[in-house]
């Protein structure tokens, strides 16, 4: 049985959902994977910080509404988040980073990840900022400290596109990727097809929980821009910066344009794409496109996301699934933790495996 102590950085919807998964799936994880998880620290901008190295009882915390939760009156609790102290000093095996995405410099998540790796702790995160803007440096730091840096949920939430490309596409040459990577914009474009004005479709998306109070990152394409950077850098071997990726959102598209496209058998989609050329150069962009019905992304509707990988031997392989949702995103974190467990369990097994000696006749 492998047991891992977790420090949760951020206790909003995603890490709360992860705490729920840990509570509800405890027996399943132990039986099926030989995995035991214990939360020993939580930090949150609003709630403060809570530390118990013997393991935090999650049940009473999950019973409190998020906006009403405070750690100040609890044993081991404080009104101060104390992020750096918790990340560096509390004896946790894995730091789970799930704070808001900053597309400009990745802070404060970048520092959270760096502090954890510098302290010799594994990290998993759903935060696009550090991965897109500093992924190469953070992966190098993780390798230097012999720890893992996992970020499956940074592209399509719980749908495993990075792990699929990394583990299932061995022997294939991936020459490009195209994707619908933002459920909010995809939902809104679908409503525009039905004649709804952009403002009304956006209000619906916010009411349904697909869009944030400030939907700029979704509507103007910045969210997809970061995801394209991650895909291009991880799958195509690029080293893109934000200024390398042209970005145009959907705010200028009118319902009439959408209806006109539909009458011609076309569907507007906000598409992020990256292509590797023969000389190794990678071009990437985010822009609305009117796709023909036969295109692998044309039929993706509602808040669903998809990525099409263009390969040399299989042609186009498309992976689709939920690209948002607190439980779905929490599953991505759980899958990262499982990957960390399996990787290091394999290393331990390899280290103890007897070496076969070569024998010779003669």
**Domain interval for residue 343:** 2-157+326-350
Pair (176, 311) in one structural domain: yes
Per residue in 311-326, pLDDT (tens digit) is 999 999 999 998 878 8
Per residue in 165-212, pLDDT (tens digit) is 999 999 999 999 999 999 999 999 999 998 899 999 999 988 887 887
Pair (95, 40) in one structural domain: yes
Q: Which of 141-150, 156-165, 211-220, 330-339 has the lowest mean pLDDT?
A: 211-220
Of residues 139, 227, 269, 357, which has the active-site annotation? 227
pLDDT tier, 343 (very low <50, low <70, confident <90, very high otherwise): confident
DSSP string of 81-98, one letter each residue: --HHHHHHHS--SEEEE-
CB 108 within 8 A of CB 99: yes
Structure tokens at 216: 């700029």
Pair (309, 345) in one structural domain: no
Per residue in 225-275, pLDDT (tens digit) is 999 999 999 999 999 999 999 999 999 998 889 889 999 999 999 999 999
Alpha-carbon separation of residue 187 from 183, 201, 279 (angstroms): 6, 8, 37
Alpha-carbon separation of residue 122 from 162, 339, 343 (angstroms): 18, 11, 12
Residue 264 annotated in active site: no
Question: With b meaning 16 or more CB within 10 Å and e meaning fewer, what string describes 250-286?
Answer: beebebeebeebeeeebbbbbbbbbbbeeeeebbbbb
Per residue in 82-111, pLDDT (tens digit) is 999 999 999 999 999 999 999 999 999 999
CB 221 within 8 A of CB 247: yes
Tell me the H-state helices in the chain.
Answer: 13-24, 26-33, 58-62, 83-89, 109-118, 128-145, 153-156, 161-168, 183-193, 198-207, 216-219, 222-235, 255-263, 326-352
Q: How far is CA 194 from the centre of its chain?
A: 31
Pair (133, 59) in one structural domain: yes
Pair (153, 240) in one structural domain: no
Q: For residue 358, is it within any domain?
A: no
Pair (53, 68) in one structural domain: yes
Pair (129, 7) in one structural domain: yes
Specify the pLDDT at position 355: 47
Q: What is the mean pLDDT of the chain?
A: 92
Helices 109-118, 128-145: inter-axial angle, 10-degree rounding: 10
357 pLDDT above the threshold of 50: no
Please report how many Cα atoms fall inside a 13 Å half-sphere around the Cα of residue 299, on the Cβ side. 7
Pair (239, 116) in one structural domain: no
How many domains does the chain fold into? 2
> How far apart, in whole angstroms, are the C-alpha atoms of residue 270 and residue 281?
23
299 pLDDT above the threshold of 50: yes
Region of residue 260 (left: phi > 0; alpha: psi -120 to 50; beta: else): alpha
> How far apart, in whole angstroms, are the C-alpha atoms of residue 278 and residue 24?
49
354 pLDDT above the threshold of 80: no
Question: With b meaning 16 or more CB within 10 Å and e meaning fewer, what string describes 158-177?
Answer: bbbbbebbeeebeeeebebb
Pair (91, 197) in one structural domain: no
Pair (199, 306) in one structural domain: yes
CATH label of the domain that carries residue 190: 3.30.360.10
SS3 content of the chain, % helix, strand, coil (to 5): 40, 20, 35
Tell me the H-state helices in 236-325.
Answer: 255-263
CATH label of the domain that carries residue 51: 3.40.50.720
Pair (47, 136) in one structural domain: yes
Pair (209, 132) in one structural domain: no
Specify the pLDDT at position 66: 84
**Which residues lie below 8 Å from residue 158, measured CB to CB, with a gap of 6+?**
321, 322, 325, 327, 328, 329, 330, 331, 332, 335
């Amino acid at each position: 049985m492998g047991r891992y102590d977790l420090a949760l950085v951020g206790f909003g919807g995603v890490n709360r959902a992860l705490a729920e998964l840990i509570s509800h799936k405890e027996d399943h994880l132990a039986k099926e994977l030989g995995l035991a998880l214990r939360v020993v620290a939580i930090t949150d901008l609003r709630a403060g910080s809570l530390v118990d190295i013997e393991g935090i009882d999650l049940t009473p915390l999950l019973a409190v509404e998020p906006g009403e939760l405070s750690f100040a009156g609890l044993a081991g609790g404080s009104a101060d988040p104390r992020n750096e102290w918790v990340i560096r000093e509390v004896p946790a095996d894995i730091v789970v980073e799930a704070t808001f995405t900053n597309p400009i410099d990745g802070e404060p998540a970048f520092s959270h990840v760096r502090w954890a790796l510098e302290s010799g702790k594994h990290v998993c995160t759903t935060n696009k900022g550090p991965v897109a803007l500093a992924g190469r440096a953070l992966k190098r730091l993780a390798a230097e400290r012999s720890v893992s840096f996992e970020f499956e949920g940074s592209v399509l939430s719980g749908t495993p596109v990075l792990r699929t490309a990394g583990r299932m596409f061995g022997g294939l040459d991936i020459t490009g990727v195209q994707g619908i990577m933002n459920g909010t914009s995809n939902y809104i474009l679908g409503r525009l097809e039905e004649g709804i004005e952009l403002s009304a479709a956006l209000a619906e998306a916010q009411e349904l929980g697909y869009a944030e109070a400030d939907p700029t990152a979704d509507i103007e394409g910045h969210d997809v821009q970061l995801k394209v950077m991650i895909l291009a850098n991880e799958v195509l071997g690029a080293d893109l910066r934000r200024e390398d990726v042209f970005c145009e959102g959907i705010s200028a598209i009118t319902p009439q344009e959408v209806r006109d496209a539909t009458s011609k058998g076309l569907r507007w989609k906000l598409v992020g794409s990256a292509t590797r050329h023969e000389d190794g150069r990678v071009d990437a962009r985010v822009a609305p496109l009117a796709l023909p019905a036969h295109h692998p992304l044309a039929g993706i509707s509602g808040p669903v996301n998809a990525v099409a990988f263009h390969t040399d031997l299989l042609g186009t392989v498309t992976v689709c699934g939920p690209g948002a949702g607190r439980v779905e995103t929490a599953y991505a974190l759980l899958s990262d933790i499982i990957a960390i467990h399996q990787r290091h369990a394999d290393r331990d097994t390899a280290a103890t495996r007897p070496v076969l000696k070569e024998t010779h006749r003669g």
